[in-house]
């Protein structure tokens, strides 16, 4: 199947209702928070270096979403936070998460020196390690870090 990653400038222009429903059924609230944050302008992934991406399946439906923000847990503006990353179950184990993750990383390495993320899921832990993150729980708000060798310009 051919999937396509697109940058999302305005969340209201795409349909993420299926992602919201499924993620809530799995006990996750972060996709709902993504929608709420866009609606109330709390987080629109529009600060310097930030970006939100979605993956469409061949039918044009959104099957994954995720973005990069400046980390709210440090004053270091060179540290990013992977946020609101979710892949529909039907699209898992097909390279969709890796495709999305690569787009986010490619964008982030031009703006930040490292990306942090926190997960409590063993499946997510395995995914993050497989996509180049290192396990590091030395900070209470972080479980995985990806550092870039070069500084951004």
List average pLDDT for each run of 10 residues in the chain, which is 153 residues long.
92 95 92 94 94 95 96 89 92 92 94 90 82 83 84 49
Residues spanned by the domain of 13? 4-115
Q: Look at residue 64 in the predicted model and tell me its pLDDT.
A: 97
48 falls within a domain: yes
Q: How many structural domains compose the chain?
A: 1
Q: What is the CATH number of the domain that holds 90?
A: 3.40.630.30
pTM of the model: 0.89
Q: Which two tokens stand for residue 80?
A: 């990013």
Q: Look at residue 152 in the predicted model and tell me its pLDDT.
A: 47
95 falls within a domain: yes
Residues with Cβ within 8 Å of residue 19, at least 6 apart in sequence: 31, 62, 63, 64, 65, 86, 88
Q: Look at residue 150 in the predicted model and tell me its pLDDT.
A: 59
Q: Look at residue 131 in the predicted model and tell me its pLDDT.
A: 85
149 falls within a domain: no
Q: Classify strands 134-135 and 144-147 as parallel, antiparallel or unpaired.
A: antiparallel
Q: Look at residue 132 in the predicted model and tell me its pLDDT.
A: 86
Q: How far apart are CA 52 and CA 89, in angstroms?
A: 20
Q: Look at residue 69 in the predicted model and tell me its pLDDT.
A: 95
Q: Classify strands 62-70 and 114-117 as parallel, antiparallel or unpaired.
A: unpaired
Q: How far apart are CA 82 and CA 67, in angstroms?
A: 6
- DSSP for 110-139 reads TT-SEEEE----HHHHHHHHHTT-EE--SS
């Amino acid at each position: 199947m051919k999937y396509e990653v697109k940058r999302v400038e305005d969340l209201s222009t795409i349909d993420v209702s299926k992602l919201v429903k499924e993620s809530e059924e799995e006990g996750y609230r972060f996709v709902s928070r993504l929608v709420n944050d866009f609606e109330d302008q709390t987080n629109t992934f529009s600060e310097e270096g930030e970006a939100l991406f979605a993956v469409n399946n061949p039918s044009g439906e959104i099957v994954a979403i995720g973005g990069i923000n400046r980390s709210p847990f440090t004053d270091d503006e060179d540290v990013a936070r992977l946020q609101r990353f979710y892949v529909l179950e039907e699209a898992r184990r097909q390279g969709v998460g890796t495709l999305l993750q690569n787009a986010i990383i490619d964008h982030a390495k031009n703006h930040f020196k490292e990306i942090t993320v926190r997960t409590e899921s063993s499946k997510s832990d395995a995914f993050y390690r497989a996509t180049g993150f290192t396990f590091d729980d030395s900070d209470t708000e972080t479980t995985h870090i990806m550092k870039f060798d070069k500084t951004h310009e």
